[in-house]
Amino acid sequence: MNYQIDNKGYYGIFGGAFIPEMMHQNISELQNCYMEILESDSFKQEFKQLLTDYAGRPSPLYYSDRLSKQYKTHIYLKREDLNHTGSHKINNTIGQILLAKRLGKTRIIAETGAGQHGVATATVCARAGLKCIVYMGAIDVARQAPNVEKMKMLGAEVRPVESGSKTLKDATNEAIRDWINNPVDTHYIIGSVVGPHPYPDMVARFQSVISEEIRVQLKTKTGRETPDYVIACVGGGSNAAGAFYHFLNDPDVKLIAVEAAGKGVFSGESAATTQLGRPGILHGSRSLLMQTADGQVIEPYSISAGLDYPGIGPMHANLFATKRAVFLSATDEEALKAALYLSQKEGIIPALESAHALAALEMINFKTDDIVVVNISGRGDKDMETYLNYYQLIK
């Protein structure tokens, strides 16, 4: 089985490029030259150098003694929270800014949910000296204030989006609109493995450094390159794509994707796309999508802004359809509990998104000699207000 794109940009029946005529020029430019750029020696060298010296890679693979005892197995945490700017998002933005420079672009746009992708984009734009505009849902602007301040300090312009649910989906719509109006000088840095071909494949390649490192680190620590489980949360799916990438063709490695169940999968306030969605087209690709009987997008909900998205990337829709990955979901409350547990047992405050992956440890029966890797996609600084509000309530 092949879990990568075919030559038309499809993962099985998912993917492709469903775009308005006005975006055609931009997208075909990217489709025609992204692989040549990514495979060139100068790109590879510059990308690797920046991942090392600027982002701080490789991120550690940390054996969690306390979690291992609690769940009676062997648990390793992949510490993407320790990257510069606090999450895995920097891997992708470094790759895309190098691409944009090679394409001669001078203006960068991005969408952001939790603000992590906005900060990672503003960061690489500052370094590259390129103008940066970040679209962000008005609700997210309010609930992720520290990241908004950071983007501004880094020199980016943050444009709050007041349409729809005022979250990530709506910010993405606005960014697409901007690109249509500015086709020549602008590159759109999409923050996840979503959007028209070639974005899902390109972003997965940039994030694949996560699983490339896990293989090397596990080999050193355990003598084995492959774990029994890799667990990652899924919003659009980029940290999961990166953590799964180099294990896709190792059928013994169980891939666990964890979606946000919000207040409960069937509560009407959820973002568990594989459980609630059907095939449909959103933001330029065919994937699974939460929609009404007549195809209107259903507003998603999660306490975690980074998971509050009504779709998943086409790679994940295919991993779900082919059963290569198992999809679980964790509620707001389960994630909040898991975040508190990791904080107090290991001294690591995870991002709310990553806490969903940790919550899945409760849902799986591990063997005592299993090797389990949980991808800690980011750190919890941006979520302190949410955490404090919740922990006040349960005290």
Ligand X SMILES: *Cc1c(COP(=O)(O)O)cnc(C)c1O
**Active centre residues (catalytic):** 89, 111, 377
CB-wise, 113 or 227, nearer to ligand X?
Answer: 113
Sheet order of strands, 131-137 included: 157-161, 131-137, 107-112, 186-188
**117 vs 324, which CB is nearer to ligand X?**
117
Beta carbons within 8 Å of 177's beta carbon, 6+ residues apart: none
Paired residues of 74 in beta bridges: 371
Of 330, 356, 374, give the one whose Cα is nearest residue 66. 374
What does the DSSP 8-state code read for residue 78? E
- Considering only CA atoms, give the Rg of the chain: 19
Alpha-carbon distance 24 to 17, whole Å? 9
Q: How far is the CB of 22 from ligand X (least distance, A)?
A: 26
Report the DSSP beta bridge partners of residue 326. 256
Identify any residues that bridge with 78 across adjacent strands, giving them in sequence order.
61, 375
| Nearest one of 114, 118, 113 to 92, comparing CA atoms | 118
Q: Which residues of the shown chain bind ligand X in the complex (CB under 6 A)? A: 87, 89, 114, 116-117, 192, 233-240, 306-307, 351, 353-354, 377-378
Supply the minimum distance, in Å, between the C-beta of residue 216 and ligand X.
Answer: 22
- Nearest distance in Å: CB 36, ligand X: 25
Choice between 97 and 355, CB closer to ligand X: 355
Nearer of residues 121 and 238 to ligand X, judged by Cβ: 238
Least gap, CB of 354 to ligand X (angstroms): 6
Tokens found for residue 220:
């050193």
For residues 256 and 374, what is the distance between their CA atoms, to the nearest angstrom? 9
Taking the complex as a whole, the smallest distance from the CB of residue 376 to ligand X amounts, in Å, to 8
User: Could you give the CA distance from residue 198 to residue 185 in angstroms, rounded to a whole number?
Assistant: 19
- Nearer Cβ to ligand X (211/239): 239
Residue identified by tokens 């087209």 is 281
> Which backbone phi and psi does 279 adopt, to 5 degrees?
-60, 140
The residue of the chain with the least Cβ separation from ligand X equals 378
Report yes or no: 147 and 114 within 8 Å, Cβ to Cβ: yes
Q: Is 25 helix (H, G, I), strand (E, B) or coil?
A: helix
Burial classification of residue 131, based on how many CB atoms lie within 10 Å of its CB (0-12 exposed, 13-18 middle, 19 or more buried): middle
Residue 22: count of CB within 10 angstroms of its CB: 13
Least distance between ligand X and beta carbon 109 (Å): 17
Instruction: Between 118 and 227, name the residue whose CB sits nearer to ligand X.
Output: 118
Judge if the upstream peptide bond of residue 20 is cis by omega within 30 degrees of 0.
no
Cα(80)–Cα(83) distance, rounded to whole angstroms? 6
Residue 183 Cβ, how far from ligand X at the closest point, in Å? 25
